[in-house]
Amino acid sequence: MNLTSNNKTVDELIKALPSSNNERDLRQEIHNIWKHNSHKLIVLDDDPTGVQTVHDIYVITDWSKEWIRQGLSDERNVLYILTNTRSYQPEKAAAINREIMQNLVEVARELQIDFSVISRGDSTLRGHYPLEINVIHDELVKATGWEFDGHLIIPAFFEGGRYTIGDTHYLREGDCFVPVHKTEFAKDVVFGFSDARLPNWVVEKGGAQTLEAVCSISLEDIRYGGVDRVLEILLSVKQNTPVVVNAASYEDLDIVSIALIRAMEAGKRYLYRTAASFVKSFAGIGDRSFLSAGEMMSAEGKHHGGLIIVGSHTNKTTEQLNELMNGFSVRTVEIDVSELLDDASREQELSKVCRMVEESIASGHDTVIYTSREVITVANKTDNLSISQTISNSLAEIVRSLSVTPKFIIAKGGITSSDIATQGLAIKKAKVLGQAAPGIPVWLTGEEAHFPQTPYVVFPGNVGDRHTLAGIIRTIKSI
Pairing type for strands 162-165 and 168-173 reads: antiparallel
The pLDDT value given to residue 6: 63
The pLDDT value given to residue 1: 40
Alpha-carbon dihedral sign for residues 59, 50, 334, 454:
negative
Is it the case that residue 383 has pLDDT exceeding 80? no
Calculate mean pLDDT across residues 353-370: 95
> Using CA atoms, how far apart are residues 434 and 436, in angstroms rounded to an integer?
7
Backbone angles phi, psi at 27, to 5 degrees: -60, -40
> Using CA atoms, how far apart are residues 446 and 425, in angstroms rounded to an integer?
10
CA 329 to chain centre: 31
How far CA 57 is from CA of 293, 444, 453, 474, in Å, comes to: 20, 11, 15, 27
Backbone angles phi, psi at 412, to 5 degrees: -110, 120
How far CA 408 is from CA of 174, 419, 472, in Å, comes to: 30, 17, 11
The pLDDT value given to residue 5: 46
The pLDDT value given to residue 278: 98
DSSP result, 130-169: THHHHHHHHHHHHHH-----EEEEE--BGGGTEEEETTEE
> Using CA atoms, how far apart are residues 308 and 332, in angstroms rounded to an integer?
9
**Nearest partner of 439 among 124, 84, 76, 86, judged by Cα:** 124
**Residues 468, 437 contacting (CB under 8 angstroms):** yes
The pLDDT value given to residue 95: 98
DSSP result, 316-328: HHHHHHHHHHHHS
Higher pLDDT, 202 or 392: 202
Task: Kindly report the length of the chain.
Answer: 479
Q: What is the DSSP letter of 40?
A: E
Least confident of 50-59, 62-71, 198-207, 385-394: 385-394
> Using CA atoms, how far apart are residues 301 and 435, in angstroms rounded to an integer?
21
Residues 6+ apart with CB under 8 A from 374: 337
Is it the case that residue 372 has pLDDT exceeding 80? no
Q: Please calculate the CA angle 274-171-49 and round it to the nearest 5 degrees.
A: 45
**Nearest partner of 247 among 268, 221, 211, judged by Cα:** 221
Burial (CB < 10 A; 0-12, 13-18, 19+), residue 61, is: buried
The pLDDT value given to residue 3: 44
Question: Of 176-190, 218-232, 369-383, which one has max mean pLDDT?
Answer: 218-232
The answer to pTM > 0.85 is yes
The pLDDT value given to residue 379: 55
**Residues 95, 139 contacting (CB under 8 angstroms):** no
Calculate mean pLDDT across residues 355-363: 96
**Residues 47, 415 contacting (CB under 8 angstroms):** yes
In the beta sheet, which residues pair with residue 152?
Answer: 243, 272
Helix (H, G, I), strand (E, B) or coil at 98: helix
Percent of the chain with pLDDT over 90: 76
How does residue 189 score in pLDDT terms, banded at 50, 70 and 90?
A: confident
**Nearest partner of 363 among 281, 299, 306, 435, judged by Cα:** 306
SS3 content of the chain, % helix, strand, coil (to 5): 45, 20, 35
Calculate mean pLDDT across residues 305-332: 89
How does residue 340 score in pLDDT terms, banded at 50, 70 and 90?
A: confident
Least confident of 136-150, 199-213, 378-392: 378-392
Domains and CATH numbers, the chain: 8-282 (3.40.50.10840), 294-477 (3.40.980.20)
- Longest Cα–Cα distance in the chain: 65
DSSP result, 369-410: EEE-SSPP--S-HHHHHHHHHHHHHHHHHHHHH--S--S-EE
Higher pLDDT, 253 or 334: 253
Calculate mean pLDDT across residues 425-435: 97
Is it the case that residue 196 has pLDDT exceeding 80? yes
The pLDDT value given to residue 149: 98
Percent of the chain with pLDDT over 70: 95
How does residue 414 score in pLDDT terms, banded at 50, 70 and 90?
A: confident
Average pLDDT score over the chain: 92
The pLDDT value given to residue 460: 87
Helix (H, G, I), strand (E, B) or coil at 299: coil
- CA-atom Rg of the chain in angstroms: 22
Backbone angles phi, psi at 371, to 5 degrees: -80, 150
Pairing type for strands 115-120 and 40-45 reads: parallel
Helix (H, G, I), strand (E, B) or coil at 181: helix
Per residue in 28-83, pLDDT (tens digit) is 999 999 999 999 999 999 988 899 999 999 999 999 999 999 999 889 999 999 99
